Amino acid sequence: MTIMEKKRALISVYDKTGITELARELASLGWELLSSSGTANHLRKAGLTVTEVSDITGYPHILGGRVKTLHPLIFGGILARRENPADMKDTGEYSIPLLDMIVCNLYPFEETARKKSTLDDLLENIDIGGVSLLRAAAKNFRQVVVLTDPSDYAAAAEELKAEGDVTLPTREMLAVKAFRTTALYDGMISEGLCQSTGYSSPELPARMPLVLVKKQDLRYGENPHQQASLYLPPLSDLPWEQLSGKPLSYNNILDADCAMRGCAMLQDCCGAVVIKHTTPCGMARGSTPLEAYEKAFRCDPVSAFGGVVGISRKVDAATLEKMAERFTEVLVAPDFDDQPLEMLREKKPSLRILRWKGGRASTLQFTGTWSGILVQQDSLPPLPVPEKSEWVGRPRPDLWDDLIFAWKAAALSKSNAISIIRDGEAVGIGRGFCSRLHAVEFAVKQAGGRAQGAVLGSDAFFPFPDGVQAAAQAGITAIIQPGGSVRDGEVREAAEKLGISMFMCGQRTFRH
């Protein structure tokens, strides 16, 4: 065969999985095998004949192995367009061997970064030549097959045997996969170096490459007709560990996310939340996990059926035994007593139990819309402080704990949201209403007589005095709300006239 006719594969892999089998298939089909030194030694031990890259280039590996394949004789053979006479003239004039396949995977930067390695270790595990090989081959995919995933080796070999070549659709797919691999790799490097150096880039830059790693496929999305998967940012881990139960669904993950937010907001106490459709239907604090759970459950026991429960403290035997009596989809907590946890697993094998590790996988929130992707910081709102806020009417520092709890409950709920709290327990929650007055009326109706002497939290301002008037008629003693309405004066006047103490915290907490 001439230089132009001979089929050649350049193989340079860190992960040797399946490479011997692929190389044997290629050799049996008459392909010449080229390789960098480490991979060449591996293949020779398997009895294969391999030409080293340095024998082609005339240069040894230099700089301690940092430069192996970066050479015009290699990249010319990858990038040459066979249908272009000028390219073919150059390959002939400079004796450039044409390459028909690149098999390459990259240094394990992600694994190195996850070990909390030094900056020098990270830098040594940034692959330069491998990324260049993949990009060059993917750019010229019509002439060069690019393989970067061992799971693709067998299919490519089968096509070579059956068709005499790798088909164009397969080449296109492999090229896209190669570019995705290098994009993800660069994302890993960017994130790893940010973590190692402490550099903090703007959270909302002018251009934001969105690089995500699939964690798991889900049965379906919000509804059965929607396909869905769970992805993580580079070098991120799930903030929870599943200890028991069926696989999580898309909706389970959304509700569990809200439960984790609730646990984060209640870390200063022994608290519990019951979540349904990403909004609380119960929330309370107590002296024990059981007391907090029971108080949260009784706010709306009908809606709590099939809900998601979050508890901010280690869950003990008494709480787990009580939960075994009810139907719950997901239980989230920072820890569990071992023996009763085994009991709950046996009694409720379908119950999904998550140990929340604290924290979150991302500090940004992405929302896909028909207009584009909305991105915002995903952070818990700062707690109101008396020194930076204003009392309307008589100050009630004796109600401060309940007012802050009411603010938290409203902040966790879907807007428009109203919470009514009595002694650390939500007795009424109006959430997801288009009208703030209707949210007040629903919460008041749910609370019934327990609204008498309770406090009320609102996630945004009252646009009219009617919400305050409805609260006063139910016996509400104090209100916490951000203010900011053009009718704040009328709202203040109504509160003072009705004898309600109102804390204007200045902190809106919408959740759409």
Separation of alpha carbons 224 and 203, rounded Å: 34
Q: Which long-range contacts (CB under 8 A, 24 or more apart) does 14-19 make?
A: 14/105, 14/106, 14/107, 14/108, 14/127, 14/130, 15/105, 15/108, 15/150, 16/42, 17/150, 18/150, 18/153, 18/154, 19/43, 19/103, 19/150, 19/153
Separation of alpha carbons 414 and 474, rounded Å: 23
| Given the residues 139, 215, 357, 438, the one annotated as active site | 139
- Other C-beta atoms closer than 10 Å to the C-beta of 229 total 12
Separation of alpha carbons 472 and 355, rounded Å: 42
Active site residue 139: yes
Query: CA separation (Å) from 418 to 80, 257, 449?
Result: 67, 21, 17
| Given the residues 277, 322, 357, 438, the one annotated as active site | 277
Closest CA to 147 of 186, 108, 184, 173: 173
Q: Where does residue 277 rank: exposed (0-12), middle (13-18), buried (19+ CB within 10 A)?
A: middle
Q: Is there a contact between 121 and 104 (Cβ–Cβ < 8 Å)?
A: no
Q: Is there a contact between 416 and 434 (Cβ–Cβ < 8 Å)?
A: yes
Q: Is there a contact between 100 and 144 (Cβ–Cβ < 8 Å)?
A: yes
Active site residue 277: yes
Bridge partner list, 366: 375
Please report, in angstroms and rounded to a whole number, the separation of the first and last CA atoms in the chain.
Answer: 67
Q: Where does residue 254 rank: exposed (0-12), middle (13-18), buried (19+ CB within 10 A)?
A: middle
Separation of alpha carbons 284 and 292, rounded Å: 5
Helix intervals (H) in 348-435: 400-412
Output the CA angle 473-479-484, nearest 5 degrees: 115
Q: Write out the catalytic residue numbers.
A: 139, 277
